[in-house]
Every structure is written in structure tokens, then in C-alpha cells.
């Protein structure tokens, strides 16, 4: 996919990390509501598969940190996952918040007018099937949305499978520190954007990415001054936990 397509990048410059940043339990519907309340136009969240191949939201490989459950997500059916309390760990007011399906998140994003960055987050050994099924679901669930979700992943195998199953969806490759061969890897997956951890990045690297006709997304930028600097360098989107202070 090339940036000479007029519709290839229509995303807001501020993105709420894991739905609502630090204001809500991560990867929950509650976070979407808070993103809108803070006038954020785009949310990022992590999508993976349950044991019965239902796409749902969770960052970690296990459910321990963000729910009252225990165990690897890959061993659990979605009905088991849906029974867990994914909010009380964060605050009592979010008790009984669930790990939502991708379908319910799509419905709410469309209702609220939110753009989405769907990070494909496969459990170990499930890269290809996760990329395929998440991308296929995204294409179906957002088929009538005015702006298609932006798919991203650290897993090149997952992103390649997404490219095959839903080639029309825009893709961005995620990096921690930008590797020397970043351009070849991005081109191999026909990405429209490069997503990077902001701490080690410099102006010259941002300019190098943009000189190739690619867009940029920096994560996770929680300092307003740093966000201003990155924007001055030409970074297109800032992903933040602090949707209350970074604008």
C-alpha cells in the first residue's frame, strides 16, 4: 500500500494507549468511553485469540496481571475469559469490566466515532493464525467505517498473515529500537507506517523514515514536552497513556 493513495492515512495525531491510557483498566470498553471524554480521536489496543479462536483484547500472554483469573490465555476459551473480572485490579469503580471481544470493541468504536490502531498480539507460537484471523475480523467488522483501522504488530509473521488475509487494510510495523534493516522489513510487508518506542529515536531517524514516504507513530509518550518535540520533528501520531495531559 502506497502513501500516494489519498485515503491511506487519515488518522488523528493523538492515540490513547490500550484504549484509555492510565485512566481506565487497559484494553476495556471503559477506556474507549474515557478516550472520547478527553477528546481523543483514536485508540490503540491489543488483539489476540482465545483457545477457541475468538479475537479479544489482552496485552499479556496470561490473564494474571489484569484480571482476577490465572493462566495462559491460549489455554482458555473465550467463555472462560469473559467470566473474569478485568477491572477491579485497577479500581473498584471498574469492577466486573470484561476483556471484550474484538467485535464488541469495533461496535463501540464505530458508535463513538473513534479511529483504531489494532495491534496484533499473538500468544507464543500462534503468530500466523492470529494475524490471519484478527485481520479478517477487522476487515469484516469495520467494512463500512469511514476510516479503516490501522493494523500493527511486532510480529512480522503475524503482519504478513494479515497482509495476505486482508491486503486492503493499512499496516504499520512495530519496533523497539529501530534496526539497521528497518526499511527492507517495512517494504516487505508493504506498510504505510513505522511505529517505534520514542526514547531512542532522534530527528534524523524520523526524517529518514518520512523521506521514504512512510508515516510515523511514536509510543508510549507520556510527557507533553517530549510530544511537542516529536511533532516538531514530523512524527504523525503520538500514542500516550496520559490522555489527560498530553494533547
- The residues assigned a catalytic role are 17, 59
Neighbours of 17 (CB within 10 A): 26
Can you tell me the distance from the alpha carbon of 132 to that of 49, in angstroms, rounded to the nearest whole number?
11
Neighbours of 69 (CB within 10 A): 17
Neighbours of 7 (CB within 10 A): 9
Contact 194, 175 (CB under 8 A): yes
Q: CA 163, 165, 168 angle in degrees (round to 5)?
A: 60
Neighbours of 131 (CB within 10 A): 26
Can you tell me the distance from the alpha carbon of 50 to that of 69, in angstroms, rounded to the nearest whole number?
14
Amino acid at each position: 500500500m502506497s502513501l500516494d493513495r489519498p485515503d491511506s492515512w487519515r488518522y488523528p495525531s493523538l492515540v490513547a494507549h490500550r484504549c484509555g491510557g492510565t485512566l481506565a483498566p487497559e484494553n476495556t470498553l471503559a477506556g474507549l468511553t474515557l478516550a472520547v471524554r478527553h477528546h481523543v480521536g483514536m485508540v490503540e489496543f491489543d488483539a489476540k485469540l482465545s483457545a477457541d479462536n475468538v479475537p479479544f483484547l489482552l496485552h499479556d500472554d496470561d490473564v494474571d496481571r489484569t484480571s482476577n483469573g490465572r493462566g495462559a490465555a491460549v489455554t482458555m476459551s473465550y467463555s472462560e475469559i469473559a467470566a473474569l473480572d478485568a477491572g477491579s485490579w485497577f479500581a473498584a469503580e471498574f469492577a466486573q469490566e470484561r476483556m471484550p471481544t474484538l467485535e464488541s470493541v469495533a461496535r463501540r468504536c464505530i458508535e463513538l466515532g473513534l479511529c483504531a490502531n489494532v495491534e496484533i498480539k499473538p500468544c507464543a507460537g500462534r503468530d500466523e493464525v492470529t494475524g490471519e484471523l484478527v485481520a479478517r475480523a477487522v476487515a469484516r467488522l469495520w467494512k463500512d467505517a469511514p476510516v479503516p483501522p490501522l493494523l500493527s504488530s511486532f510480529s512480522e509473521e503475524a503482519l504478513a498473515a494479515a497482509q495476505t488475509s486482508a491486503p486492503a487494510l493499512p499496516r504499520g510495523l512495530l519496533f523497539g529500537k529501530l534496526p539497521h534493516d528497518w526499511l527492507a522489513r517495512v517494504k516487505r510487508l508493504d506498510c504505510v507506517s513505522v511505529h517505534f518506542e520514542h526514547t531512542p529515536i532522534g530527528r534524523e531517524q524520523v526524517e529518514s523514515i518520512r523521506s521514504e514516504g512512510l508515516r510515523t507513530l511514536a509510543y508510549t509518550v507520556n510527557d507533553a514536552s517530549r510530544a511537542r518535540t516529536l511533532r516538531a520533528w514530523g512524527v504523525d501520531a503520538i500514542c500516550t497513556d496520559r490522555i489527560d495531559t498530553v494533547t
